[in-house]
Amino acid sequence: MTTLLHISASPRGEASESRAIAHEFVAAFRAANPEASVDEWNLWDGSLPEFGPDGAGAKMRVFAGEQPAGPQETAWHRARLAFERFAAADLYLFSLPMWNHGIPYIAKQFIDVVSQPGMVFDFDPETGYTGLLSGRRAAVVYTSAVYGDGRPAVFGSDFQQPYFEDWLRWTGITDVSSIGFRPNLATADAELGRRSARDAARREGAELGRTTLLRAS
């Protein structure tokens, strides 16, 4: 069975623009492929572990070919559980609002938790990194309320999409589509852009659903 994992990085619940657009994607995906499974992961629900001193110590032990022990082993186990939920999916949908020109810290925490040697990547001193999640496909919903393409620098910079898609490529996920909704707060009516983004999400979701259904049949 095909599994789509929706990872939401917005804490705004029903008020979230990125979440609303993502829900349009998921609904279209379900309609096109009713046999598929959808896992909804709200990164703010408390299930994402910390990755602090014990986690960092465990990671360095693994890099050195050693086995973490004690509190480090516990931190490593929690990171692995988060990774296993992530890696169990065949397809990904991320809803990612812009915070201070970048991504929400909870999304960076997710990246730092799951991006571990032997999980997301392998490393060779001569050839460098190898992403271990190749063959998967991802769609990303990007929202921002001030920054937008073509606006002057005083409206912000984009360290959101370039950073996140660089991380996806680093993991081995190279088939990536994006949906953007970037209204300017100074604009009285953002409804046209909102409708356009939701329409795009429905198209992308339906296309992904049809594609995976055909592959499974």
- Which tokens is 148 given? 């937008």
Which region among 55-64, 148-157, 178-187 has the lowest average model confidence (pLDDT)?
178-187
Residue numbers of the domain that contains 154:
3-216
Tell me, what's the pLDDT at 29?
98
- For the segment 202-216, the average pLDDT, to the nearest whole number, is 91
Residue 184: the pLDDT is 80
Is 189's pLDDT higher than 80? Answer: no
So what's the pLDDT on residue 136?
Answer: 96
Question: Could you give the CA distance from residue 76 to residue 81 in angstroms, rounded to a whole number?
Answer: 9
Whether 198 shows a pLDDT value over 90: the answer reads yes
Q: What confidence score (pLDDT) does residue 1 get?
A: 85
Q: What pLDDT sits at residue 214? A: 79
Residue 123's H or E segment, with its range, is strand 121-124
Average pLDDT, the chain: 95
DSSP state of 14: G
Whether the per-residue pLDDT at 30 is higher than 80: the answer is yes
What's the CA gap between 158 and 103, in Å, rounded? 10
The pLDDT of residue 213 is 84
> What is the pLDDT averaged over residues 74-88?
98
pLDDT of 185 strictly over 80: no
pLDDT mean over 65-77: 96
Query: Residue 22: which CATH number?
Result: 3.40.50.360
CA–CA gap between residue 95 and residue 31 (Å, rounded)? 20
Tokens of 141: 């919903």
Written as six digits, the tokens of 74 are 């516990």
Q: How many CA atoms lie within 13 A of 154 on its CB side?
A: 0
- Pairing between strand 121-124 and 128-131? antiparallel
In the structure, what pLDDT confidence band is assigned to residue 171 with cuts at 50, 70 and 90? very high
State residue 81 phi and psi, 5-degree precision: -60, -40
Q: What is the DSSP string of 140-186?
A: EEEE-SS--TT--GGG----SHHHHHHHHHHHT--EEEEEEE---TT
- pTM for the full model? 0.95
Which tens digits make up the pLDDT trace of 94-141? 999 999 999 999 999 999 999 999 999 999 999 999 999 999 999 999
Q: Specify the number of domains making up the chain.
A: 1
* Helix runs in 38-147, H state only: 53-63, 71-87, 105-114
pLDDT-derived band of residue 186, with 50, 70 and 90 as boundaries?
low
Confidence grade of residue 190 (pLDDT, cut at 50, 70, 90): confident
